[in-house]
Structure 1
Amino acid sequence: MTYIIRPATVSDAGHASTPLSTRSLPLPVVDGVAPSYVWLPAGDWPDLLTFLIQRFPAISGITWVARMDKGEVVDANGIRLTSAAPYRHGGRIYYYRELDAETPIPFEEVILYQDERLLVVDKPHFLPVIPAGRFLHETLLVRLKKKTGLSELSPIHRLDRETAGVIIFSRDIASRGAYQSLFQHRKVDKVYEAVAPSMPQLVFPLIHQSRMVEGTPFFRMEEVSGEPNSETQIDLIEHRQENSLYRLHPLTGKKHQLRVHMAALGMPIVNDVFYPDINDCKGDDWSSPLKLLAKSIAFEDPISGQRLHFESNRTI
């Protein structure tokens, strides 16, 4: 059985999707948090409450009933759903995600630029971009909504929680697709910096190409034989004894591409817990950030035609 559950303005993968305007949502944005929604698949649940308890085993029936009693579970038309509501497959219900406890992330984002269409931010390490898992208020999207009051904010591209640096948000739903298409059609010049083992035997700059597919476990990627679908240009910026500072220019945008490519070359990025091997989760240990920084993004604005360039002020 497949379910689709997501915040109302972004897709599960972290890419900005064709979003719903917050003005059209049946529940309001509260404290920077938009309601989540779930499509109801075909099934024989006797009522909606039974479905919700089965779908979300970590949330008790008592909690769902309390949410319903407060009017925090509604259908697409904003009609309140009670614990006796029948199950109607094909529908969509809206609700607020809640966390019992959320660890504050002690690093601040910095707004680099904003106009009527875009908000550009310098993200710190460890801060997720969108709500997921154990993160809700301690995410870049919710923080920015609270800070700016811009309820229509939505990320245009993806940046891992472990990676710091430049990320761009749309603040205007009408022009959002035009900016998303820049990333989809590889019309954005992205430059990263990384600290990794020194490799005196390699000649820089170099290009690494490979075929990347989803690996095991599901959150990792891996290289396999076949026609390349990923490409990264790598250059040496500065030699630092056992480690060096590298400039990485991804010409494609596969998930974890830079981390996979560096590990494949025998020079995994410092403090990478996924590549080449999975290490123990560090939880809320902030002492060893992944030494990867989205240093700059440049593109031709599809609306104004102006060449835009944004650069992080962070260093690694």
Structure 2
Amino acid sequence: MRVNLLHMARKKGRPTLPLPPRDGLGASRVRVPEGPGIRALDFLWHVVSTQRHRHPDDDLSAVQQRFDDSLVVLRDTTPVLADDWLAPGTDIFFYRRPAPEKPVPYSITTVYEDGDILVVDKPPFLATMPRASHITETATVRLRRSTLNEELTPAHRLDRGTSGLLLLTKRRDVRGAYQDLFARREVDKVYEAIAPLRSLRVPAIWEHHLVKEHGDPAGAVVPDLEPNSRTVVSSATRLSSEEEASLVSLYDVDGPLGRYVLHPVTGRTHQLRLQMMAEAAPILGDTIYPNLLPAEAEDFSLPMRLRCTGLAFIDPLSGQPRSFQLD
């Protein structure tokens, strides 16, 4: 039996991955809690057996097989044996086995691709990155599997219910440049939302103080606090009679319906959904606002009508302007 007292410091520069992504999924990291320490097999079995969204076949023998295949490692890639004693604070890395998921009946289409980036039209009902119960039915995992590129990574995120333009980087060495571009708010983003038409004076600026607690599916607009979100509304126009009639029937709502063109300056979680509810009307198909619907009520035929239709920025590598639009 080996005794591990590892407390590794992070190396300077870009960290290496103890286990590379596999089949579209990155490895998970777990840390041994405070206490007397624990045998590696006992610790990992506890982690896997208490996982909320676990594959039914991921039993104790499957956990043992990970150790046998050297697929449980330390930060420095040293394989961990099942009988190793892990000290508190030790990080180990392994691959989770996600539970089966209901397939999302929409495809991802490519809008643009070069050696550095991939721009796609993400459909509704696909999360951008794996999270909670949505692991394999996500844009990132689907695209990594279809392109065989395990380094493919989103530079920004779209809500699971939101469709439209999503930019991904194709290599780790360019990832930071594009992610920083979005983090610094240097990307002009355009969204279209369809909702009951309200009388608005446009162009307009919507500013609110928005809050959303981690783990809470819904956020809120808090009045009388300094705004932390800003959106420019460039237009709000009625849909054509044909499109309006189709959506009124599909969503069982009353007309008139409008198309709101929104330019978010900030990127708060659920920003456009909350601001539409506060200033105009809830977006068609929104399963959280104004009323949170149970997960089992989700209907793939009724997507939320919020779509990212434009991205424009100065490319961080070439210095040239880039612009992508959807009809």
In the superposition, the TM-score normalised over structure 2's length comes to 0.81
Aligned to 1:300: 314
SS in 2 for 1:274: coil
Aligned to 1:279: 293
The structural deviation recorded for 1:283 is 5.7
Aligned to 2:137: 138
Write out aligned runs for 1:164-175 (5 A).
Answer: 164-175=163-174
Aligned to 1:4: none
* Structure 1 residue 27 corresponds to structure 2 residue 25: no
Aligned to 2:304: 290
- CA deviations 1:143-188 (Å, max 9, x no partner) are 2112222221111111111110001111232232222222122111
Moved more, 100-109 or 236-245: 236-245
| Contact 2:36–2:87 (8 Å) recurs in 1 | no
What amino acid is the match of 2:87?
R
Write out aligned runs for 1:263-274 (5 A).
Answer: 263-274=277-288
| Contact 2:22–2:150 (8 Å) recurs in 1 | no
- CA deviations 1:61-85 (Å, max 9, x no partner) are 4442233233322222333323322
The structural deviation recorded for 1:41 is 4.2
Task: Find the aligned partners of 2:85 and 2:297 in 1 and give their Cα distance.
Answer: 40
Write out aligned runs for 1:65-214 (5 A).
Answer: 65-200=64-199, 202-214=200-212
What amino acid is the match of 1:49?
L
Moved more, 273-282 or 28-37: 28-37
Moved more, 214-223 or 178-187: 214-223
Task: Find the aligned partners of 1:30 and 1:175 in 2 and give their Cα distance.
Answer: 20
Moved more, 180-189 or 33-42: 33-42
- CA deviations 1:23-49 (Å, max 9, x no partner) are x43334332333222244434343233
Point out the structure with the larger helix share: 2
Task: Find the aligned partners of 1:36 and 1:44 in 2 and give their Cα distance.
Answer: 23
Task: Find the aligned partners of 2:306 and 2:319 in 1 and give their Cα distance.
Answer: 30
Task: Find the aligned partners of 1:29 and 1:208 in 2 and give their Cα distance.
Answer: 41
Task: Find the aligned partners of 1:115 and 1:216 in 2 and give their Cα distance.
Answer: 36
Aligned to 1:262: 276
Task: Find the aligned partners of 1:50 and 1:75 in 2 and give their Cα distance.
Answer: 16
- CA deviations 1:85-120 (Å, max 9, x no partner) are 212333322211212422222211011112222111
| Contact 1:45–1:51 (8 Å) recurs in 2 | no
Task: Find the aligned partners of 2:89 and 2:316 in 1 and give their Cα distance.
Answer: 37
Ranges in structure 1 where 5+ consecutive residues have no aligned partner: 1-17
Task: Find the aligned partners of 1:19 and 1:222 in 2 and give their Cα distance.
Answer: 37
| Contact 1:295–1:311 (8 Å) recurs in 2 | yes
Aligned to 1:219: 217
What amino acid is the match of 2:283?
I
In the superposition, the TM-score normalised over structure 1's length comes to 0.84
Moved more, 175-184 or 105-114: 175-184
User: Which one has a bigger Cα radius of gyration?
Assistant: 2
SS in 1 for 2:316: coil
Aligned to 1:6: none
User: How many residue pairs get matched?
Assistant: 292
The structural deviation recorded for 1:133 is 2.3
SS in 2 for 1:174: helix
Ranges in structure 2 where 5+ consecutive residues have no aligned partner: 1-12, 245-254
Aligned to 2:3: none
Task: Find the aligned partners of 1:80 and 1:284 in 2 and give their Cα distance.
Answer: 42
What amino acid is the match of 1:68?
F
